[in-house]
DNA sequence: TATTGATTTAAACATTTGATTAAATCAATA
DNA sequence: TATTGATTTAATCAAATGTTTAAATCAATA
């Protein structure tokens, strides 16, 4: 039985109506970790941002690393959660899947613009720790989506299309800080572009799948 | 006159044949910063990796932050240096430019696979510091490349095509650690795919530019 | 050889930071 | 009201880390 369980058992007190202390800490941790990355985040930052003191943070989560791990797993699942259920749905036509994935992904990322850059760079810095924590391996490799693409274009590795789709959807969010800093983009244009891309990318991907090379 | 200048003036001694101490430090800094990011890098790591002692590192570069800044400017210029000269060449046809950018970029990134993730995430963590240090603003916005795209497809914002091209080229390198950790990719497949993409992406982009929506 | 500047060695400094502790306080409840 | 568990307060610890210092050593040169 974990410390959290102990607390949850007794959590019938004042904060049952509003958010529990544990959740306040997690919410602050999501914010600060995502903003600054693991190494640059101080537990004191999180405590301050959550409005809860440092002692309790360590009491609930034992260590900065354990708290980070909890948040990371959430974030990884959020990042893959959009694509996997759709990719594995055997009742949807390829064209519909592409549209769904693109639209849902862009909507998710418009709400959480720094999700991809956070996950990609933190996983890179600690690869071993998160191996297979995505559950994306077989769920993607043997997905119905991959099979549908293979059927349509047997001569090209289907990963090409997956990477292109994800690249066109996700890359703008990753490059945004740089492009913004470089003066190429501003927030207003960015929003407009990403909404346009919900319609453009599926058309582009479909045409790539039709293309005879 | 900076400290570096003082040293360079007197640098007619033993290390004129092999690499100077300053360069050894920078080389180690490139490696360690790129691998672990700014916050997770300790100056002691860099000193150790360079085979040169900590005191001299601070003597040459004054501080971790100043050393980092030197490296970052290099990296940013490397990342944009491939695309800007080609984009601004007024003697090249659009089709040729697309092929050149894709091929050169993939070759660069095969040599420096973690360049994009490093630059994007560090710029994000310290946006203010690197604003306009790319010199990419007008060089990209008013580039001949952008004008050529506008001419070909006046109804769509040319940034769409730039983002798609960069996304298809760069994203695989950013996602690689995650896909590898998830078991979707391995190094061998990755290399093969990226070499195939040198031919595929230009064809795809051209077909996107032809497409009537 | 004597000098000069580059580099090393070893130590120390101040600060930051993750983590812990013990006592006090607060809120709910039996 | 007395009890119980959640939370705060305030202080402290130990380790890590950026930076500095002074003296010693080394390599080239005049």
Residues B48 and B100 in one domain: no
Domain end among B30, B62, B94 = B62
pLDDT, tens digit, 9 for 90 and up, residues A82-96: 999 999 999 999 999
Q: Of the candidates A19, A41, A62, which is a domain's last residue? A: A62
Token representation of residue B104 = 């050169």
The last residue of a domain, from among A62, A83, A98: A62
pLDDT (0 to 100) of residue A13: 38
Whole-number Å distance, CA B55 to C1' C12? 13
What local confidence, expressed as pLDDT, does residue A136 receive? 72
Is residue B30 included in any domain, yes or no? yes
Residue A5 belongs to some domain of the structure: no
> Measured between CA atoms, how close is A3 to chain B, in angstroms?
29
Residues B78 and B55 placed together within one structural domain of the fold: no
Q: For residue A113, how many C-alpha atoms fall within 13 Å in the half-sphere facing its CB? A: 14
| pLDDT tens string A111-157 | 999 999 999 999 998 877 787 776 776 678 889 999 999 999 999 99
Nucleic acid strand D within 7 Å of B120 CB? no
* CB within 8 Å: A120 and B185: no
Q: Can you give the pLDDT at residue A3?
A: 33
Average pLDDT over residues A96-101: 98
Sorting pLDDT into bands at 50, 70 and 90, what band is A183? Answer: confident
Q: For residue A2, is it within any domain?
A: no
As for how many domains chain A has, the answer is 2
Nearest to A7 by CA among A59, A53, A44: A59
With a pLDDT cut of 70, the percent of chain B lying above it is 89
Q: Is B176 within 8 Å of B190 (Cβ atoms)?
A: yes
Counting residues of chain B whose pLDDT is more than 90, the rounded percentage is 77
Instruction: Name which of A77, A113, A120, A146 to mutate to probe chain B: the one with the most chain B Cβ atoms within 10 A of its Cβ.
Output: A120
Tell me, yes or no, whether A84 and A170 share the same domain: yes
Half-sphere exposure of A98 (CA within 13 A, CB side): 24
- On chain A, the residues whose CB falls within 8 A of the CB of B39 are 36-37, 39-40
Residue A70, min C-alpha distance to chain B (Å): 17
Same structural domain for residues A39 and A78?
A: no
Min Cα–Cα distance to chain A from B13, Å: 39
Domain shared by A155 and A58, yes or no: no
Q: Determine the structural domain holding residue B182 and report its residue range.
A: 72-210
In this structure, what DSSP letter does residue B113 have? T
Could you check: is the Cβ of residue A20 within 7 Å of any atom of nucleic acid strand C? no
Judgement on whether residues A157 and A205 belong to the same structural domain of the protein: yes
The whole-number pLDDT of residue B18 equals 57
Instruction: For tokens 């004042």, name the residue.
Output: A14
Q: Please report, rounded to a whole number, the percentage of residues in chain A having pLDDT higher than 70.
A: 90
Which residues 42-61 of chain A have a CB under 7 Å from nucleic chain C? 42-44, 54-55, 58-59
Per-residue pLDDT at A142:
85
**A166, A172, A211 ranked by CB distance to B175: nearest:** A166
Residue B67 lies in a domain: no
Find the closest chain A residue to B119 by CA distance.
Answer: A178
Residues B34 and B108 in one domain: no
pLDDT digits (tens, 9 = 90+) for B98-141: 999 999 999 999 999 999 999 999 999 888 788 777 677 667 88
The nucleotide whose C1' lies nearest the CA of B40 is D17
Mean pLDDT of B184-213: 96
Q: Which residue has the tokens 């919900």?
A: A198
Question: Are A81 and A186 part of one and the same domain?
Answer: yes
pLDDT tens track for B58-104: 999 999 999 999 999 999 999 999 999 999 999 999 999 999 999 99
Nucleic acid strand C within 7 Å of B56 CB? yes
Name residues 163-182 of chain B within 8 A of A (Cβ). Answer: 163-164, 166-172, 174-175, 177-178, 180-182
- The DSSP annotation for B155-192 comes to TS-THHHHHHHHHHHHHHHHHHHHHHHTTS--HHHHHH
Check whether residue B50 and residue B149 sit in a common domain.
no
| Residues of A with Cβ-Cβ distance to B197 under 8 angstroms | 160
Average pLDDT over residues B150-176: 97
Nucleic chain D contacts, protein chain A, residues 119-148, CB cut-off 7 A = none
pLDDT at A129: 79
pLDDT digits (tens, 9 = 90+) for A12-46: 333 343 578 899 999 999 999 999 999 999 999 99
Based on the fold, state whether residues A90 and A36 are members of the same structural domain.
no
Q: Residue B66: CB partners within 8 Å, gap ≥ 6? A: none
Same domain, B182 and B84: yes
Strand D contacted by B44 CB (< 7 A): yes
Query: Mean pLDDT of all residues in chain B?
Result: 89
Q: What is the CATH number of the domain that holds B31?
A: 1.10.10.60
Q: Please check whether residue B81 touches A, CB under 8 A.
A: no
Distances (CA, A) of A91 to A95, A96, A148: 12, 10, 11
Residue B45 shares a structural domain with residue B94: no
């Amino acid at each position: 039985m974990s410390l959290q369980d102990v607390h949850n058992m007794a959590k019938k007190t004042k904060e049952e109506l509003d958010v529990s202390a544990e959740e306040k800490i997690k919410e602050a941790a999501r914010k600060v970790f995502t903003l600054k990355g693991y190494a640059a985040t101080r537990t004191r930052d999180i405590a301050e941002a959550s409005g809860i003191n440092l002692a309790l943070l360590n009491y609930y989560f034992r260590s900065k690393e354990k708290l980070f791990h909890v948040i990371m797993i959430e974030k990884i699942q959020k990042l893959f959660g959009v694509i996997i259920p759709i990719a594995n749905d055997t009742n949807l036509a390829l064209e519909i899947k592409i549209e769904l994935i693109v639209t849902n992904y862009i909507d998710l990322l418009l709400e959480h613009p720094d999700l991809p850059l956070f996950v990609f760079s933190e996983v890179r810095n600690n690869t071993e720790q998160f191996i297979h924590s995505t559950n994306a391996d077989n769920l993607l490799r043997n997905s119905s989506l991959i099979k549908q693409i293979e059927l349509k274009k047997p001569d090209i590795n289907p990963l090409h299309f997956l990477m292109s789709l994800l690249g066109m959807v996700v890359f703008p969010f990753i490059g945004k800080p740089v492009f913004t800093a470089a003066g190429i983009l501003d927030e207003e244009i960015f929003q407009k572009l990403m909404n346009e891309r919900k319609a453009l990318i599926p058309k582009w991907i479909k045409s790539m799948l039709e293309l005879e090379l």
